[in-house]
Amino acid sequence: MARRRTVHCCQACGAQHPRWHGRCPDCGEWESLVEETFAPPVAPAATAPGSRAPGGGLAGLVTPVGEEKPRRLAEIDADASPRIRSGEGELDRVLGGGFVPGSVILLGGDPGIGKSTLALQVAGGLAAAGRSVLYVSGEESAEQIRLRASRLPGVGGGLQVLTSTRVEALAGPLRELAPSVVVIDSIQTIQTDAIESAAGSVAQVRESAAQLAATAKRSNAVLLLIGHVTKDGQLAGPRVLEHLVDVVLTFEGDRHHAFRLLRTVKNRFGSTQEVGVFSMAGHGLEAVGNPSELFLEERSTRAPGSCVVPLLEGSRPMLVELQALVAPAPYGTPRRTTLGLEDARVALLLAVLDRRSRVDLLSQDVYAKAAGGVRVAEPAADLAIALAIASSRLDRAVPPDTAAVGEIGLGGEVRRVARLDARAAEAARLGFRRLLVPEACHREQVARTKGRGSGADPDCELVPIREVAEAVDWLERYGGSEPG
């Protein structure tokens, strides 16, 4: 009998080591190595034809002759397998037009964000449209799923539900139902007998996913894997999974707000630039066609400490309100608290404002946040964050019909951003009359519109800003003081 192989597998990065270490030599994570035992390779090899021969080696890796031959590129029909529309426009947009048959998709996100809801909605919709869909849940009972489905519109009664946590138990149903879409909720609860370690460990997740993916590929089914995210925002354990799957989607948002953003981290069949916007309602997830309007709905236009920025989420411009509150620090080191913005970015902007403009922020507490539970990562938000902070400190409100965009450098210079025309158009569409923009962008825009023989956008005036101090001057001149 072949000897059992024992490795120590890092639960953070998936690296394998022959010996135990207190700290993973690969990723530096402490106490992340867990001993894992692999069954002798004879068992899995016997079940799957074409998998590695017991002896290993290159011969075992190569698919048996006759199954797949080289073809000339010109002879390959790219449209051989048309995409399956999910029925959710926002999801289709992110996928690049729908599911590709035979593809594996990983949907990650925080617990409670709505992954199961989205998956059930899509699976149920496809079942209602007459497709064979299998929904496998290792997290909820069949009754719970039924209860949830009754709240969602358009979930077809033909959806096949299976509550199982063993990969081996899926083989039968997969063969009999021949589903075109299989949902696994979640990959961390699924385990295979081929590996002895507990469900959710890196080895289990990797092996189970690999087996499922191979089965799905063989039957040309779409496999949608749901995965949880750990505290620090990594897809739990399975960095390894990212290599195995074709598409990685993340579902994010603030659980206490209704907005949810669906992003692509990786997509073998489309762009990773697209973003889907949903809102969580009492009856499931709804697509949001005009996110800017939602984000700006509750804006207080008169109070200082607020500035709107036209962000670019993928190819879609989106207006988001950024807020700041500056208050004298009563004692000791001033507090700097952020929500939805990066701490480091805000700290940097505070330092730049302090040194490069007349805004004095020493011994002031600063609180900064993005409204609506949005998470802002784009550097183009710098100028708006700086203006919101300056606005609160100087007690001068940014005029309600003015937005700002631009990246700020350490010298206080305002740097160029991409796709200014799309941002300005979105701002104009929502009634903004003025947009503070990097001077370099303004120059290009003017040159471009001159070439076309028309003037600048008549609805939204672009105000060129070279340095952060200039923006502060503009605010002092045109900003409104607090009423009352």
What minimum distance in Å lies between the beta carbon of 93 and ligand TYD? 20
- Considering only 105-113, 128-136, 312-320, 372-380, which stretch makes contact with ligand TYD by CB under 6 A? 105-113
**Calpha distance 451→453 (Å, rounded):** 5
What minimum distance in Å lies between the beta carbon of 281 and ligand TYD? 6
Residue 248 sits at the vertex; the CA angle it makes with 142 and 273, to the nearest 5 degrees, is: 130
Site for ligand TYD contains 103 (CB under 6 A): no
Q: Name which of Mg ion, ligand TYD, none residue 23 binds, using a CB cut-off of 5 to 8 Å depending on partner kind.
A: none
CB nearer to Mg ion: give 138 or 373: 138
Site for ligand TYD contains 253 (CB under 6 A): no
**Calpha distance 97→468 (Å, rounded):** 42
Q: Which residues within the stretch 256-285 sit at the binding site for ligand TYD (CB under 6 A)?
A: 280, 282-284
Q: Which residues within the stretch 126-185 sit at the binding site for ligand TYD (CB under 6 A)?
A: 148, 151
* Cβ contact 392:300 at 8 Å: no
Site for ligand TYD contains 112 (CB under 6 A): yes
Site for ligand TYD contains 113 (CB under 6 A): yes
Site for Mg ion contains 121 (CB under 5 A): no
Quick one: which of 57, 82, 111, 431 contacts ligand TYD (CB under 6 A)? 111
CB nearer to ligand TYD: give 253 or 305: 253
DSSP 191: B
Q: How many residues make contact with Mg ion (CB under 5 A)?
A: 1
Q: Which residues of 401-433 are buried (b: 16+ CB within 10 A; e: fewer)?
A: bbbbbbbbbeebbbbbbeebeebbebbbebebe
Q: Name which of Mg ion, ligand TYD, none residue 247 binds, using a CB cut-off of 5 to 8 Å depending on partner kind.
A: none
Residue 426 sits at the vertex; the CA angle it makes with 468 and 279, to the nearest 5 degrees, is: 105
* Cβ contact 432:321 at 8 Å: no
What minimum distance in Å lies between the beta carbon of 255 and ligand TYD? 7
**Calpha distance 236→229 (Å, rounded):** 5
Quick one: which of 32, 86, 103, 116 contacts Mg ion (CB under 5 A)? 116
The two tokens of residue 218 are 């063989």
Site for ligand TYD contains 117 (CB under 6 A): yes
Quick one: which of 114, 179, 412, 479 contacts ligand TYD (CB under 6 A)? 114
**Calpha distance 333→471 (Å, rounded):** 28
Those residues whose C-beta lies under 8 Å from the C-beta of residue 148, and which sit 6 or more positions away, are 116, 117, 120, 140
* Cβ contact 408:386 at 8 Å: yes
Residues that bind ligand TYD (CB under 6 A): 109, 111-117, 148, 151, 280, 282-284
Residues that bind Mg ion (CB under 5 A): 116
